[in-house]
Amino acid sequence: MRRLICGYFGSKGITLTNFSLNLNNNKNAGLLSARECNKNMISKKQKTGVLLINLGTPDSPSVKHVRSYLSQFLNDPRVIDIPWLLRKILVNLIIVPFRAPSSAKIYKKLWTDEGSPLLVYGKIVRDKLDTALGDGYHVHLAMRYKKPGIPVVLEEMRKQNYDKITVVTMFPQYASASTGSALEEAMREIAKWWVIPELKVISQYHQHPKFLEAVVARAKQYDVKDYEHILFSYHGLPTRQVDKVYEEGLCEDKNCDHELTEENKYCYKATCYATTRAVAAKLGLEEKDYTVCFQSRLDKKWLEPFSDKVVEDLAKKGMKKILVFSPAFTADCLETIIEIGDEYQEIFEEHGGEKVQLVESLNDHPIWIDCLKDLVLDRS
């Protein structure tokens, strides 16, 4: 009887496994030993941690918590990309002090018994994806701003000693102010680790078949023929931010409204229009049936056309019923439920319209869970 020590590299370094084999009078002893070692190595199943990141939400609708949220959010240099001193003055002395009280009132309208819809759906999606992926995977949820924060969640993941970490942002179209900021924060934290496991980052997926299928499935809750016009309303950005994508020229020079190319594939405007064309094609819509627009602007130097102005113009043209998609938001939040569902409804009625129907975000739709599963597993 001989004792064989088989060594292999794992996430904690070299692991030595001690087991016995009867090698006497066995011509294939060496071969059997190698096979046994190999089996032992394969039997150690890898662990993968999945990190879902969404934008964030105040801890409560109180003025105090909304002020803290807005301060963290708007002081992000990827969100308000102006010189440091100007940003500090603008955000901390002007925007936050004046906006926090009014924003808190809006968040109170949004809040449910369970809390903020964005966080509630985030937890549901996390748990459903964890179940869908099965053994060997564990899904975590973090918010770029406020709780659960990226540093805290990543520290929990570090302690799990994963063999691989996959980071998925909940933003289908890349933008520096959302995707870029979330990934920068995650990488800043991971860079502090002594042991950095294999990393995989998914920065956009607006063309993934199941993402598009999930959006269409949401739309089919309504008969699109019942509506006189359809809006695809995306969160707005300053035009300077999409211009920064290009080494040469500006977004307005790249035909982003009509085509997605190698040059503009990370241009937020181009990917929003590409998303719209793909969904419209699946719904059998013609170009005259819909409008792409951008909401939540802070000034006139943001992407146009502005969603609220489009809603107003449609009402003035005599339209009574419009359907509104929000394909940049994977979970319903203030921008969908309140801004589109309530505020745009008021604008539409004020100018003669009757009904603004919001198409719900993907939330916890089963096809959306399948999409996330495919992204983690590299399936398309």
147-159 pLDDT, tens per residue? Answer: 999 999 999 999 9
Buried b (16+ CB within 10 A) or exposed e, 206-234: bbbebbbbbbbebbeeeebeebebbbbbb
Fold adopted by 49-205+366-376 = Rossmann fold (3.40.50)
Question: What is the chain's mean pLDDT, rounded?
Answer: 91
CA atoms within 13 A on the CB side of 62: 5
Decide if pLDDT at 32 tops 80: no
38 pLDDT more than 80: no
Inform me whether the pLDDT recorded for 27 exceeds 70: no
| HSE-CB of 154 using CA atoms within 13 angstroms | 24
**Domains of the chain: which residue ranges?**
2-44, 49-205+366-376, 222-358
Q: Give every CB contact of residue 313 below 8 A, 6+ residues apart in sequence.
A: none
**pLDDT over 80 at 167, yes or no:** yes
pLDDT at residue 10 is higher than 90 = no
How confident is the model over 346-375, as a mean pLDDT? 98
Q: Which of 255, 327, 260 is CA-nearest to residue 295?
A: 327
pLDDT at 376 over 70: yes
pLDDT at position 380, please?
A: 58
Displacement of CA 159 from its chain's centroid (Å): 25
Give the Cα-Cα-Cα angle 127, 57, 89 (nearest 5 degrees): 150
Higher pLDDT pick, 196 / 299: 196
Where are the extended beta strands (E) located within the chain?
A: 2-10, 13-21, 48-56, 137-145, 164-169, 198-202, 229-235, 290-295, 321-325, 355-358
CATH for the stretch 222-358: 3.40.50.1400
Q: What is the mean pLDDT of residues 286-312?
A: 96
Task: Indicate if 222-358 has the same CATH topology as 49-205+366-376.
Answer: yes
pTM: 0.87
Evaluate if residue 275 carries a pLDDT over 90: yes
Q: How much of the chain, in percent, has pLDDT values that exceed 90?
A: 87
Name the 3-class secondary structure at 259: coil
Is residue 319 scored above 90 in pLDDT? yes
Q: How confident is the model at residue 44 (pLDDT cuts 50, 70, 90)?
A: low
pLDDT confidence tier of residue 45, bands split at 50, 70 and 90 = confident
| pLDDT (tens digit per residue) in 62-113 | 999 999 999 999 999 999 999 999 999 999 999 999 999 999 999 999 999 9
